[in-house]
Amino acid sequence: MASNPDFSLALSLIFAAAVLLQWLLRTWLISRQVRHVAQHRAAVPAAFAHRISLAAHQKAADYTLAKAKVSLIDITLSAAVLLCWTLLGGLDWLNHWLLGFIDPGLGQQLALLASFAVISALIELPLSLYQTFKLEQRFGFNQMTLSLWLGDLLKSTLVGAIIGLPLAALILWLMGATGPLWWLWAWAVWTGFNLLLMWIFPSFIAPLFNKFQPLADEGLKSRVTQLMERCGFAAKGLFVMDGSRRSAHANAYFTGFGNSKRVVFFDTLLKQLSPDEVEAVLAHELGHFKHKHITKRMVMMFGVSLLGFGLLGWLSQQPWFYSGLGVTIIESKYLGVPADNNAAALLLFMLAVPVFSFFVTPLMSAMSRRDEFEADAYAMQQADGAQLASALLKLYEDNASTLTPDPWYVSFYYSHPPAVDRLARMPAPAGSL
């Protein structure tokens, strides 16, 4: 296949410009967030002065500012690494290096995917360690020991390899064996895999990392069960997860698919909230179920992935796609052995798509915030709205979430509405002035 040099150059320029624009936009948004939070650090917003102390407000501001500084390092490192993998030839070098001692074929293709994953993880490792053992430790959230962290890393690597390598092998085989419509078969496999993962995750994967105990509080169990019956939600069980082993952050969530659905409470959540507040938080989560937000997102995800696989199916046949992103096409015969470029196509697509899809982030965030408002409204119909407001205030305080985010930053990134917007739609919490 001969590459069109004009198309290759155009793709290289467009990609480089998109990477630069993304970096500039993300840096600008973080800078706005830093300035806005710092300017409002000195005083608690009037809407929260009756419930949030100045010390808690300033802790949230300092936590937000510290995370922002790490984010600036992260986005700069990510942009540099991305350019190294693509336009500067890192992926091309790795591919040819592996071909130097592994014969072309499925084994070499899998080796390329695995090597890329390992190298990427090693690059991200120092910043991950810093975030866990410095930043989170500094603000009192980290509960992990180094041995637990290493154990999680080992288990997640093994699980990723056991699940990911066979899936990658199947997709690579489909790319080479099923003709021009391979992408449709690959999409079907990907969709089936995600549905299967939703079913097996609660019962087989999550317990590898956390302990799940049945909810022992009979009073709370009765309230939660009655709430779910009113909402028409059936779950396999109510469980408490030992989230405090790793973090002081609190949460609750639904997990599973079909008859494997279960409700999971972090132990930290149950310690921080009263039974009335727990019921209100769960009613919010049930609001997502009632409005079919999760189902709609799944359908949208599968639809977008279908378009993505179709685009990949076309791009993988265009020589300029490879050369424009810094990869030399391996001819059909390499050292006398049949070769292909399928793994390189997958990796280039995975690297390039987030650069362009980043610019639709505000739309996705706005849709998510709309869903959160709908879930809040449903929760106030099924439980005490004042208790929901009280629970949210406690969670904002305990998780050190800033009450004064920058509006532009919110519009771009926030999947949940800011506290002031959510609470403005709720009854005042008990004890408010």
pLDDT digits (tens, 9 = 90+) for 367-414: 999 999 999 999 999 999 999 999 999 888 888 899 999 999 999 999
What three-state secondary structure class fits 139? coil
Number of Cβ within 10 Å of residue 100's Cβ equals 7
Is residue 288 a known part of a binding site?
Answer: yes
Do 332 and 98 contact (CB within 8 A), yes or no? no
Task: Over range 148-153, report the average pLDDT.
Answer: 92
Number of Cβ within 10 Å of residue 413's Cβ equals 16
Report the domain count for the chain: 1
The encoded tokens of residue 112 equal 């390329």
- What local confidence, expressed as pLDDT, does residue 337 receive? 42
DSSP string covering 195-231: HHHHHHIIIIIGGGTS-EEE---HHHHHHHHHHHHHH
Is residue 372 a known part of a binding site?
Answer: yes
User: Which pLDDT band holds residue 336 (cuts at 50, 70, 90)?
Assistant: very low
Identify whether 257 is part of a domain: no
Between the CA of residue 358 and those of 19, 70, 300, 354, 405, what are the distances in Å? 10, 19, 17, 6, 20
Secondary structure letter of residue 132 according to DSSP: I
Identify whether 285 is part of a domain: no
Identify whether 88 is part of a domain: yes
User: Which pLDDT band holds residue 260 (cuts at 50, 70, 90)?
Assistant: low
The question of whether 285 is a catalytic residue gets the answer yes
The C-alpha atoms of residue 60 and residue 393 are separated, in whole angstroms, by 13
Identify whether 233 is part of a domain: no
Q: In what order do the strands lie in the sheet with 212-214?
A: 212-214, 238-241, 262-266, 252-255
The question of whether 279 is a catalytic residue gets the answer no
Q: In this model, does residue 298 exceed pLDDT 60?
A: yes
Secondary structure letter of residue 325 according to DSSP: T
Amino acid sitting at position 16: A
Higher model confidence: residue 335 or residue 53? 53
Return all residues near 23 (Cβ < 8 A) that are at least 6 apart. Answer: 75, 76, 79
Do 83 and 16 contact (CB within 8 A), yes or no? yes
Identify whether 266 is part of a domain: no
Identify whether 72 is part of a domain: yes
Do 411 and 29 contact (CB within 8 A), yes or no? no
First-to-last C-alpha distance (Å) of the chain:
73
The catalytic position among 136, 285, 340, 371 is 285
Least confident of 36-50, 213-227, 260-274: 260-274
What three-state secondary structure class fits 107? helix
User: Which pLDDT band holds residue 332 (cuts at 50, 70, 90)?
Assistant: low
Q: How far is CA 295 from the centre of its chain?
A: 18
What three-state secondary structure class fits 416? coil
Identify whether 256 is part of a domain: no
CA dihedral of 407, 412, 418, 420, whole degrees rounded to 10: 30
Q: What percent of the chain has a predicted confidence (pLDDT) above 90? A: 61
Do 376 and 425 contact (CB within 8 A), yes or no? yes
The catalytic position among 376, 397, 398, 406 is 376
Between the CA of residue 243 and those of 26, 141, 152, 155, 247, what are the distances in Å? 31, 11, 13, 17, 6
Helices (H) and strands (E) in the chain, counts: 17, 6
- What local confidence, expressed as pLDDT, does residue 1 receive? 52
Structural domain of residue 131, as residue ranges? 1-142+308-328+338-432
Location of structure tokens 């350019």: 83
The C-alpha atoms of residue 281 and residue 274 are separated, in whole angstroms, by 11
Is residue 249 a known part of a binding site?
Answer: no
The encoded tokens of residue 416 equal 């949940």
Tens of pLDDT, residue by residue over 166-199, are: 999 999 999 988 888 999 999 999 999 998 888 8
- What local confidence, expressed as pLDDT, does residue 433 receive? 41
β-sheet bridge partners, residue 213? 240
Task: Over range 93-115, report the average pLDDT.
Answer: 92
- What local confidence, expressed as pLDDT, does residue 169 receive? 95
The C-alpha atoms of residue 174 and residue 171 are separated, in whole angstroms, by 5
Identify whether 174 is part of a domain: no
